[in-house]
């Protein structure tokens, strides 16, 4: 019997992977990797390792979850060392818990290797601390996308009041609805908000606004997935703490080069 490692590859910057996660890549006989894993990390694999792409795009899954789990079982039963490589952390909206449950049921040895999740890393690279002594003593991470078989709605009423900083994954398709829901349940319309696209990578872009304006700004700036949404007073700190060089939008570049004001 082989062993399966459920590994977090980090948020995008390959240098942010943990030492243990890198060892799992280097020692694996088989690597099943997701769409958001930086492909530079795959160069660390053994030349003879088998690489299997398990990418899931919005509304288009190259491989469904059942097939992925069957492959984990199949390769482990062949006595192979299997690394299941996921973007971010395997247990933060990564379905790692589902895969661990299947492996446990089949009696297959496995380990979970945590990774840096994008909900913390992307704001940090965007100059936004998720907590701050004066502005935020709590934060929550929540998914903005609900699976078809999950009828339970996100409790925006509680989230609007329970925490200082909200970090929303997979919410771009519902950004306008999310902002409206938070305002409807009592969050001030002028609460600062930010959207960070491709956080920690050379394609990172951060746009800021308020709950009232964020959806319109993101649409105008053509900010798409993968992106993290941040809501809370900590967003104001970006003006002081922004340190990571980002690509400017075409609109801002045009205004600057034409002599106008930004």
How many whole angstroms separate alpha carbon 141 and alpha carbon 166? 6
What is the structure's pLDDT at 133? 95
Do 108 and 123 share a domain, yes or no?
Answer: no
The domain in which residue 79 lies consists of: 3-113
Q: What is the pLDDT of residue 151?
A: 55
Catalytic, 34? Answer yes
pLDDT of residue 251: 38
Question: Has 63 been annotated as catalytic?
Answer: no
Mean pLDDT by 10 residues, the chain (262 residues): 97 97 98 96 98 78 89 98 98 96 98 98 98 96 74 87 97 96 97 98 96 97 95 97 77 35 28
Catalytic residue among 29, 56, 63, 135: 56
What is the pLDDT at residue 140?
97
Q: Judge if 135 and 205 occupy the same domain.
A: yes
In this predicted structure, what is the pLDDT of residue 256? 32
Same domain, 158 and 103: no
Q: Which residues contact 2 (CB under 8 A, 6 or more apart)?
A: 29, 75, 76, 77, 78, 79, 80, 81, 82, 108, 109
Going by DSSP bridges, is the β-strand pair 30-33/3-8 parallel, antiparallel, or unpaired? unpaired
Number of domains forming the structure of the chain: 2
Catalytic residue among 13, 86, 89, 170: 170
Q: Domain for residue 65, yes or no?
A: yes
Which of 82, 19, 22, 3 minimizes the C-alpha distance to 50?
82
Active-site residue, selected from the candidate residues 34, 80, 187, 214: 34
Active site residue 214: no
**Domain boundary residue, one of 65, 95, 113:** 113
In this prediction, residue 207 carries a pLDDT of: 97
């Amino acid at each position: 019997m082989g062993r399966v490692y459920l590994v977090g590859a980090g948020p995008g910057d390959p240098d942010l992977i943990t030492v243990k996660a890198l060892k799992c890549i280097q020692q694996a006989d088989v690597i099943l990797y997701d769409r958001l894993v930086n492909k530079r990390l795959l160069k660390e694999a053994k030349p003879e390792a088998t690489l299997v792409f398990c990418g899931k795009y919005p509304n288009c899954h190259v491989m469904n979850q059942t097939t992925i789990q069957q492959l984990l079982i199949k390769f482990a039963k062949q006595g192979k060392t299997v690394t299941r490589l996921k973007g971010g952390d395997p247990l933060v909206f990564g379905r790692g818990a589902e895969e661990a449950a299947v492996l446990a049921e089949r009696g297959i040895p496995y380990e979970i290797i945590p990774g840096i999740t994008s909900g913390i890393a992307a704001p940090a690279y965007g100059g936004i601390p998720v907590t701050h002594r004066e502005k935020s003593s709590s934060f929550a991470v929540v998914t903005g996308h609900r699976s078809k078989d999950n009828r339970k709605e996100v409790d925006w009423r509680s989230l609007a009041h329970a925490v200082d900083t909200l970090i929303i994954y997979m919410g771009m398709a519902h950004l306008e609805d999310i902002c409206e829901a938070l305002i409807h349940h009592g969050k001030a319309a002028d609460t600062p908000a930010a959207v960070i696209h491709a956080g920690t990578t050379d394609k990172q872009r951060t746009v800021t606004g308020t709950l009232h304006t964020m959806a319109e700004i993101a649409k105008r700036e053509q900010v798409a997935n993968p992106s993290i949404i941040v809501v809370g007073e900590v967003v104001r700190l970006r003006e002081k703490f922004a340190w990571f060089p980002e690509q400017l939008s075409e609109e801002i570049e045009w205004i600057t080069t034409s002599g106008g004001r930004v």
